[in-house]
């Protein structure tokens, strides 16, 4: 039921709240989860191609080796690492730690930097091998 006197909704919504780092990281965590679902379909496609025979596997490998394919794979790697870090953060919260406002905000601000650095490190190691 709407509050007739103030003509405002009873429940706040995204237009009311100012985005804060922890809220943004929560949204990004959900987005990376959805991206991982889509990326897992690509992983399954690659495995099916490997089981289908050399010509089809070579074509799929070529496609993933193009600059667009590599960009998608880089994004998948970042989503995987970022989602993993978010999962670790939630695990720490489940243990009852890290709820202090300033600490949670610092972790939320550091997460994108750490996830990008780890993604680049994984790719450097992967390309070096």
Question: Mapped to the 3 state alphabet, what secondary structure does 20-86 carry?
Answer: CHHHHHHHHHHHHHHHHHHHHHHHHHHHHHHHHCHHHHHHHHHHHHCHHHHHHHHHHHHHHHHHHHH
The response to whether 83 counts as a known ligand-binding position is yes
| Residue set of the binding site | 83
| Residue set of the binding site for heme | 83
């Amino acid at each position: 039921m709407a509050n007739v006197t103030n003509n405002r909704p009873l429940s706040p919504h995204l237009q009311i709240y100012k985005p804060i780092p922890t809220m943004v990281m929560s949204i990004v965590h959900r987005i990376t989860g959805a991206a991982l679902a889509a990326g897992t379909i690509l992983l399954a496609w690659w495995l099916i191609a490997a089981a289908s025979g050399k010509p089809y596997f070579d074509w799929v490998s070529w496609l993933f080796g193009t600059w667009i394919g590599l960009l998608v794979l880089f994004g998948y790697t970042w989503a995987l690492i970022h989602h993993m870090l978010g999962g670790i953060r939630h695990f720490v919260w489940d243990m009852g730690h890290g709820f202090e406002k300033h600490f949670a905000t610092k972790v939320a601000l550091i997460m994108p930097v750490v996830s990008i650095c780890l993604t680049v490190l994984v790719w450097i190691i992967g390309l070096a091998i």
